Structure 1
Amino acid sequence: MSTVLVIGAGGVSSVCVHKMAMNADIFSSIHLASRTKSKCDAIAASVKERTGVDVATYEIDAEEVPAMVNLIRKVQPSLVVNLALPYQDLPIMDACLEAGVSYLDTANYEPKDEAKFEYHWQWAYHDRFKEAGLMALLGSGFDPGVTSVFTMWLKKHKLKTIRQLDILDCNGGDHGQAFATNFNPEINIREVTAPARHWENGEFVETPAMGKKVEFDFEGVGPKNMYMMYHEELESLAKFNPEMERARFWMTFGDEYIKHLTVLQNVGMTRIDPIKYKGKEIIPLQFLAAVLPKPETLGETTKGNTNIGVIATGEALDGSGEKTFYINNICSHEAAYEETGNQAVSYTTGVPAMIGSAMMVTGKWSGDGVFNMEQMDPDPFMDMLNEHGLPWQVKELDGPVDF
């Protein structure tokens, strides 16, 4: 039985808090804080209606470390769950260290002025968390998060080594909007427009954004165009699986999304450097994010499935030569909305955030320092995926993927 403090009040947070409330035997007291308290109150009202559980709410600027420290000391949680923006990771980690509490997030730190997704800023906190006797768990979402756990489960149960790895993220949902992102618009567009990078022969190889496209037939969705891009779990997967020859990340985008994004990029609306407008400085991408539909409002209209998984090729554990396995989850937007009031993109991140939190507060995952998902035993996490709405399946393929 543990007290948790969740920071952030978007769709992922909504799912995570709902799922925590559904597991009151693990999370005895749930506290929710964000810059906009009304968003926290709306989530708390939904949780109360659906589960009968009370959630305490607060207003907080997560970048103000002293205020965060005061809130943590007031709530006295055993864990702070950071579901705010990646820019806020480091100040929240600073606050956790000062207040003496463990930490979890779903996305690695990114500076505001550069679309640079790297772990080194947070890995640098390892000694401080270790000396404090605290644990920080990084990237407990789906990708990163579940995709890393999938990979390590295959390495534990199916493959002695992994030679090639491909992460496939498909959102087959249709929300009926001309252009909208399924998670935070600012982060989504920064990711998509950044140069693609993949791991090959001991180093990262950079290629133009959206420069490589292939079609793949996703179960539960159908054929979709997917584009190679950079995603942060490639960095940690390469670090903890040094034998890998190649690792790539793929995400599906529809033609309409690509068309709108291309126009927005061409006219400068995806820029992250400030410009002057009527005597004031604004950042075009932040303005664009403000006028786009909020991801948490898309749940009711989004229909279809997501399909996210990994394909790994390597030496079989049983000595039978090289084998290829595909492990994935298919999640229904409609089912996610019925259960939590949020669409499946939020659901597939919010549920793993709850599970990672459960791993920490129950002691199934433990340690002093900063850890990635790859360093933990995948089995109890995989069991909870099956139990809490994200069942997975694994099958052997005829051979390595050729794309």
Structure 2
Amino acid sequence: MGKALIIGAGGVASVVVHKCCQNSDVFEEICIASRTIEKCEALKNKLDGDRTKIQTAQLNADNTDEVIDIIKKFEPDVVINVALPYQDLTIMDACLATGVHYVDTANYEPPDTPKFEYKWQWAYKEKFEEAGITALLGSGFDPGVTGVFTAYAQKHHFDEIHTIDIVDANAGDHGYPFATNFNPEINIREITANGRYFENGKWIETEPLAEKRVYNLPEIGPKDIYLLYHEELESLSINIKGVKKIRFWMTFSEKYLTHLHVLENVGMTSIEPIEFEGKEIIPLQFLKAVLPDPASLGPRTKGKTNIGCIIRGIKDGKPKTYYVYNVCDHEECYREVGSQAISYTTGVPAMIGAMLIMKGIWKKPGVYNVEEFDPDPFMDALNKYGLPWQENFTPTLID
């Protein structure tokens, strides 16, 4: 059917490449492009021989002209951006210049200050409309599938949605004293930022990790979950009409939080530059360099994830609670694609979003978040491509 340019060669990109190759009727040809050409070649060598043709290219995605050049050379139908969120805008600019559809999994982040806002990308809406191309933002799991889950609930289960609690629980164990399951720089910036949630038209801010609950979740049992701010809250508060309250929760073990607090106390999570031996370095980037690469965690990680939405509202005049979620097994993911479940749950939806654009199902000029499209084709694809969802079990709030 067409061609996809995949920018990035880390753990998530690896899943996207595997899934595109499993879906060769749609992805007849792909190009893997990254700053580190060796990673691209390693992915190509692992999958060469499948029906999907694979090319590789070296690319500095900070440079719009380089992205434009590779798009002109490869002529893809869609660009799947699974690089760093700092590079979203340069890649979107390149897509505008070449008239190619765009998909990413995380909102643009200014390198100097963690913001977790869509405003920079939403500002491209008219430009993409005029160019006649689609930009699909946040087609990962959260953001991504959780937005699709919410749109599905709104379409099929509620007359009014009042509250949404997104719960991201990881019961996996990789054996390291401290490691992050995705890009350490992004992960730690999220966790150390103030918490924030939406209620009655206003944003309420909390101290980092100040609000804690314990939920007994299907297949993984009781877990400590903490309130964070996550970017999909911003888009859902606008796109889910009438919602009164939206929160995001994530699990952390006491061991993980102890390590994080120590690193924070000694300044290692800072993004303020410091001088060291005559060179300027950013402590958090140095910490990233010494921590295990998330892509290396796959063979070590055991256990499951449970990510879903607990949604409350009104149906036919009566109060209703609806819980929709996915459980993903780290070891099964590794057996299938060589990655742990965190990368898997992000990479599969990125492929699905690109597939729906290429098929013309979600193709509409402009810039959109996933919950603005018909959720049904995406929900069907989740079951088909490795992220089956379950519904109607209400988790027990223990504390």
Which TM-score bucket, shorter chain as reference? Answer: over 0.9
Alignment partners' CA distance in 2, 1:132 and 1:274? 39
Contact 2:306/2:325 (CA < 8 Å) preserved in 1?
yes
Deviation at residue 238 of structure 1 after TM alignment: 0.2
Contact 1:31/1:57 (CA < 8 Å) preserved in 2?
yes
Alignment partners' CA distance in 1, 2:394 and 2:191? 29
Deviation at residue 52 of structure 1 after TM alignment: 6.0
Provide, for residues 347-388 of structure 1, a one-character-per-residue CA deviation record: whole Å limited to 9, x for no partner. Answer: 000000010011100011111110111110000000000011
Provide, for residues 311-344 of structure 1, a one-character-per-residue CA deviation record: whole Å limited to 9, x for no partner. Answer: 000111xx15110000000000011000000000
The one-letter code matched in structure 1 to 2:105 is T
Residue number in structure 2 paired with 1:351: 348
Contact 1:324/1:396 (CA < 8 Å) preserved in 2?
no
Contact 1:231/1:249 (CA < 8 Å) preserved in 2?
yes
Tell me whether 1:194 sits opposite 2:193 in the alignment.
yes
The one-letter code matched in structure 2 to 1:290 is A
Q: Percent identity?
A: 54
Residue number in structure 1 paired with 2:282: 283
Deviation at residue 402 of structure 1 after TM alignment: 8.9
Alignment partners' CA distance in 2, 1:111 and 1:87? 6
Alignment partners' CA distance in 1, 2:394 and 2:363? 35
Tell me whether 1:334 sits opposite 2:331 in the alignment.
yes
The one-letter code matched in structure 1 to 2:37 is K
Residue number in structure 2 paired with 1:90: 89
Residue number in structure 1 paired with 2:5: 5
The one-letter code matched in structure 1 to 2:257 is I
Residues 192 and 250 of structure 1, relative CA distance in 2, 3 Å threshold: same
Contact 1:304/1:334 (CA < 8 Å) preserved in 2?
yes
Alignment partners' CA distance in 1, 2:126 and 2:317? 42
Deviation at residue 232 of structure 1 after TM alignment: 0.4
Contact 1:323/1:396 (CA < 8 Å) preserved in 2?
no
Alignment partners' CA distance in 2, 1:220 and 1:29? 38
Residue number in structure 1 paired with 2:41: 41
Alignment partners' CA distance in 2, 1:66 and 1:19? 28
Deviation at residue 99 of structure 1 after TM alignment: 1.4
Contact 2:128/2:367 (CA < 8 Å) preserved in 1?
yes
The one-letter code matched in structure 1 to 2:27 is F
Contact 2:216/2:398 (CA < 8 Å) preserved in 1?
no
What SS does the aligned partner of 1:162 have?
Answer: strand
Alignment partners' CA distance in 2, 1:251 and 1:298? 19
Deviation at residue 41 of structure 1 after TM alignment: 1.1
The one-letter code matched in structure 1 to 2:377 is P
Residue number in structure 2 paired with 1:61: 60
The one-letter code matched in structure 1 to 2:370 is M
Alignment partners' CA distance in 1, 2:282 and 2:298? 28
Gaps of 5+ in 1: none
Alignment partners' CA distance in 2, 1:174 and 1:396? 25
1:200-239 correspondence runs (5 A): 200-239=199-238
Residue number in structure 2 paired with 1:18: 18
Which sits farther off after the overlay, 39-48 or 185-194?
Answer: 39-48
Residues 402 and 373 of structure 1, relative CA distance in 2, 3 Å threshold: farther
Deviation at residue 172 of structure 1 after TM alignment: 0.6
Contact 2:28/2:52 (CA < 8 Å) preserved in 1?
no
Alignment partners' CA distance in 1, 2:238 and 2:118? 11
Gaps of 5+ in 2: none
What SS does the aligned partner of 2:336 have?
Answer: helix
Alignment partners' CA distance in 2, 1:53 and 1:45? 13
Alignment partners' CA distance in 2, 1:374 and 1:52? 32
Normalising by structure 2, we get a TM-score of 0.98
What SS does the aligned partner of 2:160 have?
Answer: coil
Alignment partners' CA distance in 1, 2:45 and 2:312? 46
Deviation at residue 161 of structure 1 after TM alignment: 1.4
What SS does the aligned partner of 2:30 have?
Answer: strand
Deviation at residue 162 of structure 1 after TM alignment: 0.7
TM-align CA RMSD:
1.3
The one-letter code matched in structure 2 to 1:243 is G
**How many corresponding residue pairs?**
399
Alignment partners' CA distance in 2, 1:337 and 1:52? 22
Alignment partners' CA distance in 2, 1:52 and 1:266? 51
The one-letter code matched in structure 2 to 1:341 is G
The one-letter code matched in structure 1 to 2:355 is A
Deviation at residue 43 of structure 1 after TM alignment: 1.4
Provide, for residues 248-271 of structure 1, a one-character-per-residue CA deviation record: whole Å limited to 9, x for no partner. Answer: 000000111100000000000000
Deviation at residue 36 of structure 1 after TM alignment: 0.5
The one-letter code matched in structure 2 to 1:57 is T
Deviation at residue 396 of structure 1 after TM alignment: 5.6
What SS does the aligned partner of 1:191 have?
Answer: helix
Alignment partners' CA distance in 1, 2:328 and 2:371? 23
Deviation at residue 18 of structure 1 after TM alignment: 0.3
1:3-402 correspondence runs (5 A): 3-48=3-48, 51=50, 53-316=52-315, 319-395=316-392, 397=394
Deviation at residue 212 of structure 1 after TM alignment: 0.7
Contact 1:47/1:54 (CA < 8 Å) preserved in 2?
no
Deviation at residue 2 of structure 1 after TM alignment: 0.9
The one-letter code matched in structure 1 to 2:28 is S
The one-letter code matched in structure 1 to 2:354 is S
Deviation at residue 273 of structure 1 after TM alignment: 1.1
What SS does the aligned partner of 1:44 have?
Answer: helix
Provide, for residues 98-138 of structure 1, a one-character-per-residue CA deviation record: whole Å limited to 9, x for no partner. Answer: 11111000000110000110000000000000001111000
Alignment partners' CA distance in 1, 2:241 and 2:390? 26
Deviation at residue 47 of structure 1 after TM alignment: 2.0
Deviation at residue 54 of structure 1 after TM alignment: 3.8
